[in-house]
Structure 1
Amino acid sequence: MSALHLPLRCLAWLGRQGTRAVAVSALVGLFLPPLSALFRPFVEEAIFLLLVLAFLRVDPAAVTAYLRAPRLVAPAGVWMLLAVPVATALALTTTGVAAAYPELAMAAFLVTAAPPVMSAPAFVALIGLDGALALALVCATMLAAPLTAPLIAGLLLGDTLPVDAGGLALRLAGLLAASAAVAAILRRVFGARRIVAARTHIDGLNVALLFVFAVAVMDGVAESFLARPLLTLGIGALTFAVALTQMAVTFLVFRPAGSDRAFVLAHATGNRNMGLLVAALGGTLPDLAWLYFGLGQLPIYLLPWILKPLADRALAGAPERANENPAPRTGSEPDG
């Protein structure tokens, strides 16, 4: 046991660093291109293990309770997985952008057809809002994504889709089912009490995997900046613009439900789990789409802090709901 004491302490310390450690990971990926190239082949495996840990941290009973009243979750899921990507697909196809720039169409597919990042409830809690709605939305959209993503892929990508729509659905469903099954087995073997007691260690593993993921997806970003600085800066700015646009429109659409709830839904819609679709596509993307994928992690890491003053205003606008149905803790790190 003494041989494991130091590694376990290191994992626990790493888990307590949370988002700070992950933010540093993204910067490391930018400044250490050889390390990014080394980790890139393991993106798919890292995403799978991240999903396992995410399912392991979620309380199944709490999720069931949240989904029993889907009056807001259902329309929010339809908005996120169908309305937003279909509108995007129509805009890009009717203007000819999808046909002329298929790599941009692939990036648009990743950033509109994916469910929210698994850490959305944790980010919502970090900025002071109730994460229960975010947790329910994550679970519902994860289940629906294997059905909706192939439809959007057909609209946006057409013949350029690396796999057929049925294959994408099977891969996505298989990825989710396998990761959920592994998490269920671990929960049964170790027991819920031990898992809760080891939460900081699990978070440490999560941070370590997110380090691999964040560094891997930055492969090519530094080279692209040196070779094409204006294009790289433009793609980086575009990732923030797309995230903020999705958030702003979603907030306006759901504002009648309350500014606090609208902000939670807006945050979830603007921060998508692109890594899930990348894994379903086999971990390979065209160069420009991969560049968007890599730079697209930056808004996920930074926007919760940038937008916290707006979240505080939303919370102040609905104080009577601020402490309703507190969500179970699901970790504090971003992913995918």
Structure 2
Amino acid sequence: MKNKMQFALGFLGRHASSVLPVGVLVGLFVPYLASSFQPLLIPALFVPLTLSLVRIETYQLRRSLLRWHWVALLSFWILILRPAAVWAILQFFILPEPIVKAVLITAAAPPVTACAAIAIFLGVDAAIVVVLTIATMLLVPLSLPPMVYYLVDLQIKTGLWQLSLHLALFIFAAFFVAALIKTCMGQSRIHQNSAILDGASVIFIGIFIIGIMHGVTDKFIQQPWYVLQILVVSTLLVLGSYIFATVLFWRLGARTSMAIGLVSGNCNMGLMYLVLVDQATLDLLIFFAIGQIPMYFLPSLLAPLINRLLVRDALISTTHKR
């Protein structure tokens, strides 16, 4: 039984990019399961972040933290410049007001906590993803209320300090549990069981994807055209952010720039869902749910291209060294 479970987790870990989109389909076609997974949303955010911290070696995190000026600049890009740029672009399009509001709130969010796990699956710089995810999650209580207020005229009722404390405890707990796991397992065993750890991440990311799909199936049956609009707009937002940020920061190297593209496109709609669930309209919450679809489909579709770019960049670097 144990060997079968290890094999199953290893299989999921090795094929993570292909497996994750299945969670979207399950959430859409098995709405009862989506409803049942609602209480598991927070644990499903916590586990992938923790396991990503386990998988990334300490020296990699330290190296990214030493580039503090880049961390500060990139955090400013994610929390301030990105939503401002999205607002400017939206002025050229005519879209339903709920979609515009949802896009701007999404653009003001930090990266999704599963982003580090996806970065590991894709082979890009997961350490900078973790550092940026944590930095922006700690800063978002300061940036989100004014950005949301000025961009969409929505006043967040959740207490600023309460949100800061919850996020800080969330991150501290993830680091603490990751440190315990590293101490108990040791780095060599972590390397040996990397696919199994990745498989566990896939399961919890899948639980989150399925849980947040709650209500989407009914909305699609009632308003299919509106749901398709949301899907197109959210896909353009994610893909456009991937491309723009990757090109903008290409000078940092392929692994790092594509990691920055990933954190720029994979916004934490789940966090926005949890923060605004008591005061947001159903249309807004539906956008946060449907917006998960491109975040988990696009990495799997782009994986071959990302791999080619990484190989090409490695070959160029090797040639230059010679």
| TM-score bracket, shorter-length normalisation | 0.7 to 0.9
CA–CA distance in 2 between the matches of 1:210 and 1:284? 26
More moved, 312-321 vs 147-156: 312-321
Q: Which residue of 2 aligns with 1:302?
A: 297
| Percent identity of paired positions between Structure 1 and Structure 2 | 25
Q: Residues 283 and 205 from structure 1, CA distance in 2 versus in 1: closer, same or farther, beyond 3 angstroms?
A: farther
Q: CA deviation at 1:252?
A: 4.7
**In the alignment, structure 1 residue 211 sits paired with structure 2 residue 203:** no
Q: Which residue of 1 aligns with 2:48?
A: 50
**In the alignment, structure 1 residue 19 sits paired with structure 2 residue 17:** yes
CA–CA distance in 2 between the matches of 1:267 and 1:276? 17
Q: How many equivalent residue pairs?
A: 312
Structural mapping, 1:106-255, within 5 Å? 108-115=104-111, 117-122=115-120, 124-125=122-123, 131-132=124-125, 135-157=127-149, 160-255=155-250
Structural mapping, 1:269-280, within 5 Å? 269-278=264-273
Q: Which amino acid aligns with 1:231?
A: Y
CA–CA distance in 2 between the matches of 1:300 and 1:20? 13
CA–CA distance in 2 between the matches of 1:310 and 1:209? 26
Q: Which residue of 2 aligns with 1:268?
A: 263
Q: CA deviation at 1:294?
A: 2.0
1:195-232 Cα shifts (integer Å, max 9, x gaps): 33222222222222122111111111111110010111
Structure 1's unaligned 5+ residue stretches are 126-130, 325-336
Q: Residues 314 and 36 from structure 1, CA distance in 2 versus in 1: closer, same or farther, beyond 3 angstroms?
A: same
Q: Residues 124 and 71 from structure 1, CA distance in 2 versus in 1: closer, same or farther, beyond 3 angstroms?
A: farther
SS in 1 for 2:116: coil
Q: Which amino acid aligns with 1:136?
A: I
More moved, 5-14 vs 177-186: 5-14
Structure 2's unaligned 5+ residue stretches are none
Q: What is the TM-score when the length of structure 1 is the normalising length?
A: 0.77
Q: Residues 39 and 285 from structure 1, CA distance in 2 versus in 1: closer, same or farther, beyond 3 angstroms?
A: farther
Q: Is the 8 A contact 2:48 2:117 kept in 1?
A: no
Q: Residues 114 and 225 from structure 1, CA distance in 2 versus in 1: closer, same or farther, beyond 3 angstroms?
A: same
Q: Residues 118 and 278 from structure 1, CA distance in 2 versus in 1: closer, same or farther, beyond 3 angstroms?
A: farther
Q: Which residue of 1 aligns with 2:34?
A: 36
Q: Residues 274 and 321 from structure 1, CA distance in 2 versus in 1: closer, same or farther, beyond 3 angstroms?
A: farther
Q: Is the 8 A contact 2:16 2:202 kept in 1?
A: yes
Q: Which residue of 2 aligns with 1:128?
A: none
